[in-house]
Amino acid sequence: MIEQVTPQQLPAWLQAVHAAGGALPLLLDVREPAEWQAASVRVDGAELLQLPMHGVPPRLHELDPSRPVAVLCHHGGRSMQVAMFLQRHGFDRVANVAGGIDAWSLQLDRSVPRY
């Protein structure tokens, strides 16, 4: 089952998975480059990797399946698909950032532009 984590819950999730496994979690932003330019986020407690959804399968070998991954997109649909893909390919701890960057702007940081 894919964990659903709201933007407000993400810092606590990152801290918990980091404490449990020791590996620095990955925040995987699967939006397109134009979307990153429109709005982007930084989060303490995770490495940010911007990799469009279509780029994940060919670069899967670059990702560590034992590392916790939270996946982010615009509203949560693409990130959920990528999260399920990662889980099917043996990733141990995967979460979907529910509501995506749009919810991030509404719930957590209004300085993040909505588009």
Alpha-carbon span 107 to 20, nearest angstrom: 27
Tell me the pLDDT of the chain averaged across its residues.
96
pLDDT tens-place string over residues 8-32: 999 999 999 999 887 899 999 999 9
User: DSSP label at 104?
Assistant: I
Domain 3-108 has CATH 3.40.250.10: yes
Q: What are phi and psi of 100, to 5 degrees?
A: 65, -160
Region 41-49 average pLDDT:
93
pLDDT higher than threshold 90 for residue 42: no
Residue 93, SS3? Answer: coil
Confidence band, pLDDT 50/70/90 cuts, at residue 46: very high
Per-residue pLDDT tens digits for 48-98: 999 999 999 999 999 999 999 999 999 999 999 999 999 999 999 999 999
pLDDT of 22 reads: 78
In this predicted structure, what is the pLDDT of residue 38? 96
- How far is the C-alpha of 4 from the C-alpha of 32, rounded, in Å? 22
Among all residues, which ones are annotated catalytic?
Answer: 73
For residues 36 and 115, the answer to whether their CB atoms sit within 8 Å is: no
